[in-house]
Amino acid sequence: MLNYHKILLADKIRLQKYRQAILRTVKKGDVVLDLGCGTAILSLLAIRAGASRVYAIEEGEILEIAQAILKKNGLENRIKFIPRNSLRSSLTEKVDVIVSELFGHLGLEENIISYTADARDKFLKKNGTLIPGRLEIQMAPLSHPQLYQEINFWKKPISGFDFSSARDWAVNNRYFCKIQNSNLLSPPRLLFEIDLYRQTESLLKKTLMFKMKRSAPLHGFAAWFRTALAPGIVLSNSPHSPATHWSQNFFPLQKPVLLQKGQSVFIEFTNIPFQKGSIWNWIVFGKDDRHNAFRFEHSTFRGRPTTQDLIQSMSGSFVPPVTQQNRITRAILKLCNGQRTTEQIARQIRKRFPPHFQNFRQAFQICVRIIRDHL
């Protein structure tokens, strides 16, 4: 955890762009919300820019470290931490600015749309400002034999054994990469353009057509994000931009396809919100250099082993069974009346479900986990 946040803080481009955007946006006396604050570096920059106070929302363990950092800098009275998921949070006032950094390598992994929309509608003043305010995802066809070895690795025998079955999962994964302009078979095109002041829907789908600028095997598609933090201040992990800790993304094909200059290829790409991230589907189709039609269908949902039970549980017609764990969870939540302590609840739960708990410690740990999940 700490090493991950060290990587974020050590990213000079990321920090420089956010510092510029906050200084340009936050005015003296503004109230600011730092959405998913991490180490609270953006909260600190907002105070430096003139914010009168900052609300910092974070549900991760990093919050304790952030609190220690604020105390060390003598700012613990100007930044109020809210230790829970923003979807379950509330404020006593509206804010002038919401700042967040909810980007994965593709920009969408951390559900930036849904979290921003919820915080925007609940917390932002009518004429308030979002940092960032816009997000773009760009894509281009890619020829990269070396990168495709990530897929073909599974075709080779390992210690004399056949591991090729794993390749079916491998071709449905997204890979992080560093690409050059020479790897692109066509200029990039805009896949998704997201106005975070208005966007509420995280399910995104679009079909793009690319015309090949040279003859080469198509191995897949590269993608990256570009975001406007403030007017004139752009942050991107594009291969044309200064390097950051974010990589570009590679979405492979089932097998390479040789294309000639001037030929067209199509990709239908879908972003599906799922749990705390996204599922990506990509369908690629066209005609190869011999004018034979091809079509490949991929999904990151098929990029890892998935049990039949999990697939069934995602169906709208699925009827959840009544389990002992469900009964325990309901009983714990019913005992949360604003008066009982966690210890008192755990003792009652252990008495009510004696076969389930060997000792008080087990009952207490489950109560703590369930209560924290529902705060």
Query: In the chain, where are the structural domains located?
Result: 2-101, 135-313, 324-373
Query: Is 135-313 in the same CATH topology as 2-101?
Result: no
The count of other CB atoms within 10 Å of the CB of residue 331 is 16
At 36 the pLDDT is 93
At 75 the pLDDT is 84
What single-letter DSSP state applies at residue 198?
T
At 303 the pLDDT is 87
At 309 the pLDDT is 60
At 39 the pLDDT is 92
Query: Angle at Cα 294 formed by Cα 290 and Cα 300, nearest 5°?
Result: 145
Give the C-alpha separation, 97 to 93, whole Å.
12
**Crossing angle (nearest 10°) for helices 2-10 and 12-25:** 70
Asked if residues 29 and 52 have their Cβ atoms less than 8 Å apart, the reply is yes
Distances (CA, A) of 34 to 16, 73, 111, 132: 17, 18, 16, 12
Question: Exposed, middle or buried, 341 (CB in 10 Å: 0-12/13-18/19+)?
Answer: exposed
At 306 the pLDDT is 67
At 310 the pLDDT is 60
Q: Please tell me whether residue 117 adopts helix, strand or coil conformation.
A: helix
Per-residue pLDDT tens digits of the chain, which is 375 residues long? 778 889 989 999 999 999 999 999 999 999 999 999 999 999 999 999 999 999 999 987 888 898 899 889 988 889 999 988 888 888 999 999 999 999 999 999 889 999 999 999 999 999 999 999 999 999 999 999 999 998 999 988 999 999 999 999 999 999 999 998 899 999 999 999 999 999 999 999 999 999 999 999 999 999 999 999 999 999 999 999 999 999 999 999 999 999 999 999 999 999 998 877 889 999 999 999 899 999 999 999 988 876 556 656 665 677 778 788 888 999 999 999 889 999 999 999 999 998 888 889 888 989 998 888 776
CATH of 2-101, one of 3.40.50.720, 3.30.70.20, 3.40.50.150, 3.40.50.12280: 3.40.50.150
pTM as predicted: 0.83
Residue among 213, 195, 217 nearest 204 (CA): 195
CATH of 135-313, one of 2.60.40.10, 2.40.10.480, 2.70.160.11, 3.40.50.300: 2.70.160.11
